[in-house]
């Protein structure tokens, strides 16, 4: 069943995110701060919006800007579509990135950006005990959320069972994993990579249910990788192999 999460993606900030939303045909209105020497990218974005007959409004002064000072362009959009765990069969031919209680907004935004870059077109998030999807994550993902389907799950164990029923390999990332991610032969198999929380990683109970627990090769003097970096490396390894 398709749904929206609290108007997810209704406000999109930042030139790359706005451009991606334009390409997804979700934009209803664009507001930008007047700049004497517009960048080529902003000029191109405005022209694209004009060609799509999008309402465009210019703010004369940054003092009148109601949005984040980090950005000078904002789009008001139709909310993005999300999916429930029961909709998983729609994505039986997809690669998944499963986030198990990630708490940091920057980490989740970076994971989304990597997922979009490397063909992991479903992001599975828990309904509870996780950082919430927000306009900030749209900005951090730099348009990545326009290219990744969002699936909200209630139970990670029932999600794993459904993935197994769809013949999707479940691969957990852990520094003490049994096999290096670059040593696994995935062939054309669809994959679900599991990322644990920043503090505790993947729980042992979840590890016991996954097909493979994998690690990323690195120097022994490094304690661990940031979860979003580890996810990006794993997704890239699978991308280049497939």
Q: Are the C-beta atoms of residues 198 and 102 closer than 8 Å to each other?
A: yes
Q: CATH 3.40.1280.10 residue ranges in the chain?
A: 82-241
Q: State the pLDDT at residue 37.
A: 64
pTM to 2 decimals?
0.84
> What is the second-level CATH architecture of the domain 82-241?
3-Layer(aba) Sandwich (3.40)
Q: State the pLDDT at residue 221.
A: 60
Mean residue pLDDT across the chain: 88
Tell me: pLDDT of 180 over 70: yes
- Dihedrals phi, psi of 229, to nearest 5 degrees: -70, -45
Provide the β-strand partners of residue 83. Answer: 2, 151
Percent of the chain as helix, strand, coil, to the nearest 5: 35, 25, 40
In CATH terms, the superfamily for domain 2-77 is: Ribosomal protein L30/S12 (3.30.1330.30)
Segment 105-131 shows an average pLDDT of 91
Question: Which residues are CB-neighbours of 64 under 8 A, at least 6 positions away?
Answer: none
Q: State the pLDDT at residue 4.
A: 43
Tell me: pLDDT of 23 over 80: yes
């Amino acid at each position: 069943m398709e749904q929206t999460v609290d108007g997810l993606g209704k406000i999109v900030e930042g030139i790359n995110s706005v451009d991606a939303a334009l390409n997804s045909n979700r934009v209803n209105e664009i507001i930008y701060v007047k700049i004497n020497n517009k960048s080529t990218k902003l000029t191109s974005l405005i022209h694209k919006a004009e060609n799509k007959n999008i309402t465009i409004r210019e703010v004369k002064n940054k003092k009148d800007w109601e949005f984040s000072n980090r950005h000078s362009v904002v789009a008001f959009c139709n909310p993005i579509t999300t999916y429930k765990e029961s909709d998983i069969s729609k994505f039986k031919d997809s690669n998944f990135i499963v986030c198990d209680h990630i708490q940091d907004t920057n980490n989740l935004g970076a994971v989304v950006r990597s997922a979009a870059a490397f063909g992991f077109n479903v992001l599975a998030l828990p309904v509870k005990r996780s950082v919430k999807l927000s306009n900030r994550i749209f900005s951090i993902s730099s348009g990545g959320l326009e290219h990744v389907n969002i699936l909200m799950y209630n139970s990670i164990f029932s999600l794993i069972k459904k993935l197994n029923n769809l013949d999707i390999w479940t691969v957990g990332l852990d520094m003490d994993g049994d096999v290096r991610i670059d040593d696994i032969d995935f062939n054309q198999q669809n994959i679900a990579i599991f990322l644990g929380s920043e503090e505790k990683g993947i729980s042992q109970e979840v590890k016991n249910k996954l097909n493979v627990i994998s690690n990323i090769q690195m120097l022994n003097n490094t304690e661990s990788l940031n979860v979003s970096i580890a996810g990006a490396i794993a997704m890239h390894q699978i991308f280049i192999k497939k």
